[in-house]
């Protein structure tokens, strides 16, 4: 048999031929139209679209530098500014930071303020949760709970954390600031990163954290009030430095 005969030969096996086969789709066509095949196609298309979006440069967002953060916040005034050690910065990888201590009145414990801004959290530079950083610095978390925070005419949530290191006891308040949102839950904040990356081509955000020591015999409610007053003053100006 010549070469032409081989090209013309098709092994149909048990596949029906003739008039009976013309009235129904082949098994191959049925598989292409199956829900599984359609779902795979949609997932593939979505992955290609996501890849294309991720490869696009994120736009620069106008913001003030944290070095310009107010030294007077309501009844509080700055008394000290510190720098973060280079080895810590190498781990946190923030775009911009500020570390300060504020006082309200003589004899009252200070409140430390730490703000870190990350311009692009799609490239490995992400907000680090104090739930991980505080134990890493030797602090033991004894209690943690969410508390309401007034934000843009509504209510959001922050985390109130009590920590101990030896005889030292402190109270911390923190939240993740995500494109105009005040977020307590780290997993929700991560979900917002993906949402904003596709919807707004932005993945920037930051962490805002306050800490204060307990005065002798001081109750938690008193220390909490101190943190909340400074937090409320901070929320009035924070959008200049971590944009909405």
- Bigger pLDDT: 189 vs 175: 175
pLDDT, averaged across the chain: 82
pTM score over 0.85? no
Residue 145, pLDDT above cutoff 50:
yes
Q: What is the set of domains in the chain, with CATH numbers?
A: 66-240 (3.40.1000)
Q: What would the pLDDT profile of 16-50 be if each residue is shown by its tens digit?
A: 444 444 455 444 443 444 666 666 666 666 655 55
Q: What CA–CA distance (Å, rounded) separates 165 from 171?
A: 12
User: What are the angstrom distances between the C-alpha of 80 and each of 102, 147, 214, 215?
Assistant: 7, 28, 19, 19
**Ramachandran category for residue 153: left, alpha or beta (phi over 0 → left; psi -120 to 50 → alpha):** left
Average pLDDT on 85-93 reads 87
Q: Does residue 26 contact residue 14 with C-beta atoms inside 8 Å?
A: no
Residue 244 tokens, joined: 């909405």
Phi, psi (deg, nearest 5) at residue 8: -85, -10
DSSP track, 218-234: --HHHHHHHHHHHHHHH
Task: Fill in the DSSP letter of residue 109.
Answer: P
């Amino acid at each position: 048999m010549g070469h032409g005969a081989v090209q013309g030969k098709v092994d149909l096996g048990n596949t029906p031929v003739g008039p009976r086969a013309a009235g129904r789709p082949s098994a191959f066509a049925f598989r292409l139209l199956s829900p599984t095949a359609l779902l795979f196609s949609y997932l593939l298309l979505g992955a290609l679209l996501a890849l294309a979006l991720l490869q696009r440069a994120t736009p620069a967002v106008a913001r003030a530098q944290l070095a310009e953060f107010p030294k007077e916040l309501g009844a509080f005034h700055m008394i000290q500014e510190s720098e973060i050690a280079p080895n810590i910065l190498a781990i946190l990888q923030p775009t911009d930071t500020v570390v300060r201590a504020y006082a309200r009145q003589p004899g009252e414990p200070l409140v430390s303020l730490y703000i870190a801004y990350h311009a692009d959290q799609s490239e490995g530079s992400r907000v680090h949760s104090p739930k991980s950083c505080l134990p890493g610095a030797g602090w033991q978390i004894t209690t943690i709970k969410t508390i309401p925070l007034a934000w843009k005419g509504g209510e959001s949530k922050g985390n109130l954390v009590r920590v101990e290191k030896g005889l030292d006891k402190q109270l911390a308040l923190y939240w993740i600031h995500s494109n105009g949102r005040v977020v307590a839950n780290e997993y929700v904040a991560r979900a917002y990163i993906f949402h904003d990356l596709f919807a707004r081509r932005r993945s920037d955000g930051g962490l805002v954290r306050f800490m204060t020591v307990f005065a002798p015999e001081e109750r938690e409610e008193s220390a909490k009030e101190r943190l909340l007053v400074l937090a409320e003053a901070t929320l009035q100006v924070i959008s200049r430095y971590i944009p909405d």
